[in-house]
Amino acid sequence: MGTEAAAAPVIVEAAGLVKTYGLGGPNPVEVLHGIDMEAREGEFIAIIGQSGSGKSTLLNILGALDTPTDGVVRIDGVDIATLDSDGLADLRGRKVGFIFQFHYLLEEFTCLENALMPITIQKGAPEREDIEYAKMLLKRVGLESQMHKRVTQMSGGQQQRNAIVRALVNRPRVVLADEPTGNLDSRSGQEVFALMREIARETGVAFLMVTHDDRLAQEADRILRIEDGLIQEVPRSAAAAAVGAARGR
Amino acid sequence: MRFEIKLAYRHLVSGGGQTALTVAAVAIAVTVIIFIQSLITGVQRRFINDLVGSQPHVTVKRPDPAPDSLARAAERTGGEVPGVAPGAFLATREEKQVQQRTDIEQWKQVETQLAQFPGVRTVTSAVRGNAFLIRGAKRLGVTVSGGDPAAQEKIVGLQEDMIAGSWLEIGPDDVVIGWRLADEAGVRLGDRVTLQSPEGVSASFRVAGLFDTGNNTADLGQAFLTLRAAQSLFATRQDVSSILVKLDDPFQANAVADQIAAALPFETESWMREQVFIMNALRSQDQSRLMICMFALLASAFGIASVLIVSVVQKSRQIGILKSMGARDRQILLVFTLEGLGIALMGCLVGSGLGALLLNALAQIPQTARFGKADKLFNIAWDAEIFLGACAAAVAATLIAAILPARRAATMNPVDVIRGG
Ligand SMILES: Nc1ncnc2c1ncn2[C@@H]1O[C@H](COP(=O)(O)OP(=O)(O)OP(=O)(O)O)[C@@H](O)[C@H]1O
Ligand SMILES: [Mg+2]
């Protein structure tokens, strides 16, 4: 499997990525000290690390939502440093899907309308095939009967599944999920994770997921850990051992 | 654009009470502006009509001779005359010269020339002068205006003010005077009065008609004759003393008077210069209504700005997520600007409706009739321009109020607002 993934094209790539917050202020904080990494088509990568280690920071930069202080980030071959704010917005709209810990669905719209929001932003109104695709994805995540419901009428797990469909509806190259199950109970967390894992495989996107849940991380193709502003690959066996040790206690 | 409209619309709909409140703020401003403007414009129009309705806006005359030539004329006659102060002597000389030289020959031709000036509605020639109206022992000073009744009617608009007798059909033996003058002189319709001019001509006339313009000066001091009668009273032969001009817009009087004076060898008088106090009063009234309108707009703009700022803060997460989905800054700016526009348009609709209702109610109030002429207490100006102007002002104010919140939304950093749930 590892060799298979290595052959696939690189979708997201970071080289020497540095992020400093409060630059120019009295006490700037360098959160990321030089990250080198890549994510390939069809790969499902878990990103772990302690709270405050810079996982969200990294994810936001990899999705062109934030810009690095130094270093290069390429998304589908495009160096994001070459894009202006509109260029970045368009890149996010076409190549990237975000899923956050909170669903951030728009309360003013229905489930289906929310799922189609990235298309609506881009085209003004979704076309028939967009709607078909969104409906297919909603069916896929078990929201067939909820499509015309308001956001507030759905359960937490349903809302997060709605958010997953929204992240996928524009057929992105990469999906960045920041603790997508963090706000769910363990059972619906498991369900949501399983769905993401399957859909990622089916659609061939590069999927990066930040998680605090080692058991979920175990099911990823690769695990990356951020520590002291640097990133390192965690061998799955070692992670398994760590999880095993934790369970043993 | 469809996305922005859709989102702005949903925001307004889901805003519910908040939206209604801002719409009400705009509506009140629009209502106040429409109300104030229509009322004051109407009042001013009636006032101006009462004031200058029976006057020419511009009067064209032969120029007075220069004072220094008069002085020279005085010198030539040998300076002081015993028993008569030099000033008094000059005055009589001046009067005589003016009287001699203010007549306009070729007046038909001048009329045609004057009619060409922009904004001129009607032109008519008249013999005007001061005279005494004599009845028994009473001698009352009057301003006599003689001209073709039909042509004069276009200038003075007496017909609607006639309360007795006739006006348009008068003959050379007839005079038409105001009811106050008749009252003062103790004459009735059909009685005979004598008019005596400074030229020393006296003639007897029959009171053929009485008018009530509502303007005391006119009702007490004006008398109308036919052209022929006035020509013989003031001894002008076939000439006229002035040409009277009525304009489409009375407030253009100064401009038109100056244009005529510059282009033709005549002197002009504008009613506005004769009535400086009234012009000042009108101007200060204009200023105060402008102030009221500005404050109404300002208050509603502040209300809208604060509500929109709150709504932007409330929606900051949503703005962040929209940006993460590819929304450009300009799109976000447009969403909130459109919200402002939507509020403004709804406010204009409601405000115009309320304004119309209010004006309608006000216009119904009757005034006690004066000589059977039923009149409304308020003369409301129903001008589309007032409604459109109020709406345009409200839309502009609302859009300006929306700029700050919309820009704040557009420049929001998505990373900052998404962080922390
Ligand atoms: N806008 C900011 N200004 C200053 N410091 C910031 C800013 N955003 C994040 N940080 C700091 O950068 C560090 C990394 O933050 P980040 O949110 O990336 O951590 P994380 O790994 O996602 O943590 P968690 O697991 O709690 O979500 C933290 O120490 C945080 O305080
Ligand atoms: Mg985080």
pLDDT class of B88 with cuts at 50, 70, 90: very low
More confident call, A74 vs B377: A74
**Is residue B11 predicted with pLDDT exceeding 80?**
yes
Domain ranges for chain B: 2-52+279-419, 99-265
Domain count, chain A: 1
Percent of chain B at pLDDT exceeding 90: 44
H-assigned helices in chain A? 2-7, 55-62, 85-95, 111-115, 117-123, 128-140, 156-168, 186-203, 214-217, 236-248
Report the atom number in ligand 1 closest to the C-alpha of B419.
17
**Is residue B72 predicted with pLDDT exceeding 70?**
no
Rounded to two decimals, the ipTM of the complex is 0.91
Total-model pTM: 0.76
Is B295 within 8 Å of chain A by CB?
no
Closest ligand by atom to A69 CA: 1
Residue B114 vs residues A67, B63, B247, B255: alpha-carbon distances, Å: 75, 16, 11, 14
Encode pLDDT of B127-172 as tens digits: 988 999 999 888 999 999 999 999 888 888 888 889 999 999 999 9
Which of B14, B322, B324 to mutate to test binding with chain A, by most A CBs within 10 Å of its CB?
B324
Provide CB contacts within 8 A for B248, sequence distance 6+: B119, B120, B121
Encode pLDDT of B323-341 as tens digits: 999 999 999 999 999 999 9
Q: Which residue among B11, B317, B329 places its CB closest to the CB of A108?
A: B11
Is A107 within 8 Å of chain B by CB?
yes
Encode pLDDT of B209-256 as tens digits: 999 887 788 899 999 999 999 999 998 888 888 899 999 888 889 999
**Is residue B92 predicted with pLDDT exceeding 70?**
no
Strands A44-49 and A206-210 come out as parallel
pLDDT class of B277 with cuts at 50, 70, 90: confident
d(CA B58, CA B126): 13
- Note the pLDDT of residue B369: 52
Spell out which residues of chain B touch residue A85, defining contact as CB-CB under 8 Å: 328-329
**Is residue A248 predicted with pLDDT exceeding 60?**
no
Contact between A102 and B421 under an 8 Å Cβ cutoff? The reply is: yes
Give the other-Cβ count within 10 Å of B374's Cβ.
Answer: 9
**Is residue B89 predicted with pLDDT exceeding 90?**
no
**Is residue B372 predicted with pLDDT exceeding 80?**
no
How many Å lie between the alpha carbon of A100 and the closest alpha carbon of chain B? 8
**Is residue B69 predicted with pLDDT exceeding 50?**
no
Provide CB contacts within 8 A for B21, sequence distance 6+: B303, B307
- Note the pLDDT of residue B238: 83
How many Å lie between the alpha carbon of A209 and the closest alpha carbon of chain B? 16
Q: Which two tokens stand for residue A82?
A: 């070459």
Point out which residues pair with A222 in neighbouring strands: A45
Residue A218 vs residues A190, A223, A244, B50: alpha-carbon distances, Å: 13, 8, 11, 94
Region of residue A206 (left: phi > 0; alpha: psi -120 to 50; beta: else): beta
Is residue A12 lining ligand 1, measured as CB closer than 6 Å?
no
pLDDT class of B78 with cuts at 50, 70, 90: very low
Give the other-Cβ count within 10 Å of B225's Cβ.
Answer: 31
Find the B10 Cα to ligand 1 centroid distance in Å. Answer: 33
- Note the pLDDT of residue B214: 78
Is B415 within 8 Å of chain A by CB?
yes
- Note the pLDDT of residue A74: 96
Residue B330 vs residues A17, A93, A124, B199, B318: alpha-carbon distances, Å: 29, 15, 14, 81, 15
Spell out which residues of chain B touch residue A125, defining contact as CB-CB under 8 Å: 2-3
Is A122 within 8 Å of chain B by CB?
yes
**Is residue A92 predicted with pLDDT exceeding 90?**
yes
**Are A106 and B13 within 8 A, CB to CB?**
no
More confident call, A78 vs B55: A78
**Are A85 and B329 within 8 A, CB to CB?**
yes
- Note the pLDDT of residue B406: 93
Percent of chain B at pLDDT exceeding 70: 87
Mean pLDDT in chain B? Answer: 84
Encode pLDDT of A63-79 as tens digits: 999 999 999 999 999 99
Find the A178 Cα to ligand 2 centroid distance in Å. Answer: 7
In the A/B pair of chains, how many CB contacts fall below 8 A? 76
Read off the pLDDT of each residue in A201-213 and give the average, rounded to a whole number. Answer: 92
Is residue A35 lining ligand 1, measured as CB closer than 6 Å?
no
Contact between A234 and A197 under an 8 Å Cβ cutoff? The reply is: no
> What domain range is A26 assigned to?
2-248
Q: Best of A35, A53, A179, A213 to mutate for ligand 1, by most ligand atoms within 8 A of CB?
A: A53
Is residue A211 lining ligand 1, measured as CB closer than 6 Å?
no
- Note the pLDDT of residue B370: 54
Q: Residue A192: give its domain's CATH number.
A: 3.40.50.300
Region of residue A22 (left: phi > 0; alpha: psi -120 to 50; beta: else): left
What's chain A's Rg over C-alpha atoms? 18
Buried b (16+ CB within 10 A) or exposed e, A21-49: eeeeeeeeebbbbebebebbbbbbbbbbb
Spell out which residues of chain A touch residue B7, defining contact as CB-CB under 8 Å: 106, 108
Find the A212 Cα to ligand 1 centroid distance in Å. Answer: 15
Encode pLDDT of A121-162 as tens digits: 999 999 999 999 999 999 989 999 999 999 999 999 999 999
- Note the pLDDT of residue B365: 80
- Note the pLDDT of residue B94: 45
Distance of CA B295 to the CA centre of its chain: 24
Spell out which residues of chain A touch residue B326, defining contact as CB-CB under 8 Å: 89-94, 118, 121-122, 170
Which of B201, B252, B226, B222 has the alpha carbon at shortest distance from B124?
A: B226
